[in-house]
Amino acid sequence: MLIDVVTIFPETVECSLRTGILERGQEDGIIQVRAHDLRDFTDDRHKVTDEPPYGGGPGMLMKPEPFFRAVHHCRRGQHNSRVLLMTPQGRQLNHKICEELAREEHLIILCPRYEGVDERVRQWVVTNEVSIGDYVLSGGEFPAMVVVDAVARLIPGLVGEPESVRGDSFAQAGLEGPQYTRPREFQGLEVPAVLLSGNHQMIARHNCEQSRLRTVQRRPDLLR
């Protein structure tokens, strides 16, 4: 998979790519993530990417032309590209959306700043608007990397243990249950005896019950 991230702060994206599975996935050729400086797609000597909005109002609005040029540049040689705009107004990211995006060949992620982008970018360039929650950040770089990380780990071969992905919270329409490792006893709290029994059928049943119980307690909406 190829992912292009367009931003005025490419160093923020590049820093995130030098750790964990994203770094390993790129080294193994499973995923390629490229950061593009939006200023490189301006046509004035000051590399302006924002202007005051028509009609007045606070803050600055990002201009449409640099985004149009950036998307055109990223699409070269790519036949199927999906363009994501990170915005609080978008569809809230969830596991199902991540699964859909993981099946794509090419993603282009736009990272707005300030008061957002000119509406014509939404109308003529963007295919999906994505939010990571009901709150506002200074820009789209961190939300973009949330998308990149969440999508990347669903690409076959990127995570060393595929079973760990299939057992994640939300992958099975519920939350993952409690888990334990050594020591067997810690500050008076012991590992449930069933997990030490060696009976895989009983352990699987226990884990399923604990997963459902935690989901009922914390996210009953997932069961609906």
Instruction: List, by residue number, the catalytic residues.
Output: 88, 115, 153, 168
Question: Which one-letter amino acid corresponds to residue 74?
Answer: C
**Percentages (nearest 5) of helix, strand, coil residues in the chain:** 40, 20, 40
Concatenated DSSP letters of 181-205: -S-SEETTEE--GGGGS--HHHHHH
Half-sphere exposure of 150 (CA within 13 A, CB side): 19
**Distances from the Cα of 156 to the Cα of 118, 150, 166, 190, 205, angstroms:** 37, 13, 11, 36, 27
Residues, the chain: 224
Q: Provide the Cα torsion 179, 185, 187, 190; round to 10°.
A: 60
CA 39 to chain centre: 24
Residues 73 and 35: their CA atoms lie apart, in Å, by 12
